[in-house]
Amino acid sequence: MKKIKAILLLVLLPVMVLAQNRENNNHLSSQKTINTLAIPSLDELSGQWIEVNTLRSFPTVMNFVGGVQASQNLTAFQNLTVPPYAQGGLSGELLLDGMPLNATLSQWHPCQVLRKATVNSVELESTMRMPFEQQGVLIRLRMHNHSKKAQVLNLSMKGSGKNRLYASEKWATWGNYRPSDSNFVASVNKEGKTLLIKDNSSPAVTVYSFNPRPDELIAAEGKGNTSWIITLAPGKSQVIELAYAIGKDVPSVTATARKWTENFDAEFGAAKSKWESRWQMSFKPGSKFFSGHYPILITDDLKIRRVYYESALVPLLMCRINLPYSNRSFVTAGPTWANTLVYFWDAAMWPNTWASLEPKEMKEQLSKWFLQDTRNCYAVDYLSGKGSGPWYAANDWAIFSSLDAYLGVTGDTSFLKKIVNGKTMLQHLDDMATFYERRPLTKESLLANYGGPANLLECSPSYIQGVSSFNAASVYMLRRTASYYEKLGNFNRAKELRSKAEKLLPFVLALYEPGEGVWNAMDTTGKKVPIRHCFDYITVGQALEGDLSPKIKSEMNHFVETELLTKTWMRAMSFKDPAAEKSDRPDHGPLGSYDAWPALTMDVMCRFGDFDKALAFLRASEAVTHEGPYAQAHEFVGAESRGNDPVVRTASRGGQDANEVCGTAFAEVIIRSFFGFRPDLSADKPTLLSPNVPRGFNGKLQHVSWQGKLYTIVSDVKGVHITKE
């Protein structure tokens, strides 16, 4: 029987893929009447209804202080995280006749998750939101009887509320602490309307409040059980509303939960309307919330439009106003992992967009980063202000890129002279550019040794030591730092750094594998291993675009097109890589990709002049946005997982999170590559990439910020051109 089921799955999955593609196209065509001059609403950015049993990661809701994740159950939720509080296990699990009632369909929306199930012609649909900028969850369950006879529903809900308050030092890790014990006590108030659950291991308090009042509400063994007998006449509907509040003061948390249920419509509506207002505000110059703004994209190409705005949404999903290290932080992931961490590497996936949206806070955070020992951590915990994790070899390249972008967008030359931790910012740039000299690979080579798997791609045992990517990055950083010294009049140091770059460059170029389009990693013995991974393509392409011959660029593009790209997404690693079978992680392995890699691959395609193929890839990648937001990674499943047309799903396997700031890379690349905007502190006017090359689409970016002024960039049949507003 198992073999028969497996065969049926293999037969049906391609059909499922075709059906999904048709659904995506139909969904897109239904939007053709939208106003392409307007910023899309949150409703327009929502995903499609997806069969729950095809999901690998359940959808989430974020509200600027934390997040929560749905589950397969119709109303249950998990991973509620509002630092310093974290939930363990499921809460609010719904049962019908004593059995868990699972959803069959699910839809993600930027401020809510919808789930559906139908039982005996009764349609049950739940809507889960978080009260705006508050610590809790709101759920509305609507039941409608489509049959011609009365239906009786024996519903109950498990009132588990395992929330715990963790000390600040516990948060400085990728893996959030979450309670798994039973050290909780539950009680019911006198009116039988609220369920209180207290944590005996911390001050955390959880309160459930219901409307209508349950038929029965009992507490035992640290949890509660709620039940209703619902009788629905033919064609009639009924609603159950749940408010779930967390905190550390019993009277206050109880009052909050009861207020939410007593004013449920208002709280539920505000959870959406205030989110919508915040979203629209992010595109408005001079808004009261952000110190900057996004450019507005106007185009009748609906796929490009959707990708841009879905990507611009990501920082708002990751925005936190309740972490003391910064008034406005953009955490790397959530709500499952790393809810208070900002990784240097991930922040570098959207630095120009960050500088456009939030230049004030970006400047402050860059300054604070240099207070950390960045050679002994990979992230900053924005709750405690401490470094987290081991050293990532990407740190210098990531921090340099972020600082470079801030300077280019804002024109803040004075920041180069600011002293932080005993050095000017320019001296910090110099330190990062020359750090390669302190990690020599061999006596004979100028290449640096960037450590082992834990310092690099983590899952690839052969991507170690003398990698091409960061050695190429050092060449770029040396040259870029030299230009900043020239800006401030230190021509001698500029000359020294340029000399270092020209000496290092031949050693990097010698790592290229002729005819293959890939780059080698070299170990301390001088042995070379070809690396068939997108990261060398991306980083070498970005750092050395002017040093690579047309032949090398063509071969690099051929490698990507033949070994990495799929119909709608890409593999991070080729199956031909020597470490492929040992590197099965969705973000960096051969069965999926970290969500920034496709966007940055398009960036290099554009740098290499291959705009047509980059644009085709951009449009094709729009398909993934119909499941939900950009995440840490998307993985391949089904019979075609090793082929060209796999089913692509938000990844969970391998410790991947449902939300990740790296997804903003798509907006970054649309601005910097497809529209070609290249902000440069050294330039006296805004510059564009290949301005005379048509991009293949018509559109314009309005309110592009550069050095305190606003510009409009237009893409048309002649190429791209920029004018001051």
Among residues 149, 59, 63, 66, the alpha carbon closest in space to that of 105 is found at 59
Contact by Cβ (8 Å): 40, 109? no
**Cβ-based burial of 149 (10 A; exposed 0-12, middle 13-18, buried ≥19):** exposed
What does DSSP assign to residue 679? -
Q: Which of 85-99, 186-200, 289-303, 496-510 has the lowest mean pLDDT?
A: 186-200
The helix/strand/coil state of 440 is: strand
pLDDT band of residue 184 (cuts 50, 70, 90) is: very high
pLDDT of 303 over the 90 cut: yes
pLDDT of 30 over the 80 cut: no
pLDDT of residue 35: 81
pLDDT of residue 510: 98
pLDDT of 16 over the 90 cut: no
Contact by Cβ (8 Å): 340, 382? yes
What is d(CA 376, CA 378) in angstroms, rounded to the nearest whole number?
Answer: 7
pLDDT of residue 191: 78
The CA-CA-CA angle for residues 516, 519, 524, to 5°, reads: 135
Per-residue pLDDT reduced to its tens digit, 325-375 = 999 999 999 999 999 999 999 999 999 999 999 999 999 999 999 999 999
pLDDT of residue 36: 80
Copy the structure tokens of residue 494: 């500029």
Among residues 240, 290, 278, the alpha carbon closest in space to that of 110 is found at 278
Handedness of CA 421, 422, 425, 427 (dihedral sign): negative
pTM of the model: 0.94
pLDDT of residue 361: 97
What is d(CA 506, CA 513) in angstroms, rounded to the nearest whole number?
Answer: 14
pLDDT of 64 over the 80 cut: yes
Task: Report how far Cα 374 is from the mean position of its chain's Cα atoms.
Answer: 22
Enumerate the β-bridge partners of residue 126: 115, 141
What is d(CA 245, CA 505) in angstroms, rounded to the nearest whole number?
Answer: 58
pLDDT of 473 over the 80 cut: yes
Give the number of other CB atoms < 10 A from CB of residue 638: 19
pLDDT band of residue 666 (cuts 50, 70, 90) is: very high
Copy the structure tokens of residue 545: 């675009």
What is d(CA 186, CA 184) in angstroms, rounded to the nearest whole number?
Answer: 7
Phi, psi of 384 (to 5 degrees): -95, -20
What is d(CA 594, CA 584) in angstroms, rounded to the nearest whole number?
Answer: 12
Radius of gyration of the chain (CA): 26
Mean pLDDT for 702-706 is 97
Residues near 373 by beta carbon (within 8 Å), at least 6 away in sequence: 387
What is d(CA 608, CA 90) in angstroms, rounded to the nearest whole number?
Answer: 49
Question: What b-and-e string marks burial along 470-505, b requiring 16 or more CB atoms within 10 Å of the CB?
Answer: bbbbbbbbbbbbbebbbeeeeeebbebbbebbeebb
Per-residue pLDDT reduced to its tens digit, 433-460 = 999 999 999 999 999 999 999 999 999 9
pLDDT of 6 over the 70 cut: no
What is d(CA 142, CA 490) in angstroms, rounded to the nearest whole number?
Answer: 69
What is d(CA 258, CA 461) in angstroms, rounded to the nearest whole number?
Answer: 54
Per-residue pLDDT reduced to its tens digit, 652-662 = 999 999 999 99
Average pLDDT score over the chain:
94
pLDDT of residue 339: 97
**Structure-derived torsion over alpha carbons of residues 687, 692, 697, 702, reported in degrees to the nearest 10:** 30
What is d(CA 385, CA 184) in angstroms, rounded to the nearest whole number?
Answer: 30
Per-residue pLDDT reduced to its tens digit, 511-568 = 999 999 999 999 999 999 999 999 999 999 999 999 999 999 999 999 999 999 999 9
Contact by Cβ (8 Å): 232, 239? no
pLDDT of residue 2: 36
pLDDT of 25 over the 60 cut: no
Q: By 3-state DSSP, what share of the chain in percent is helix, strand and coil, each rounded to 5? A: 35, 25, 40
Per-residue pLDDT reduced to its tens digit, 45-62 = 999 999 999 999 999 999
Q: Which residue has the higher pLDDT, 35 or 116?
A: 116
pLDDT of residue 190: 77
Strand pairing class (699-706; 296-298): antiparallel
pLDDT of 28 over the 60 cut: no
The helix/strand/coil state of 233 is: coil
pLDDT of residue 33: 62
pLDDT of 169 over the 80 cut: yes
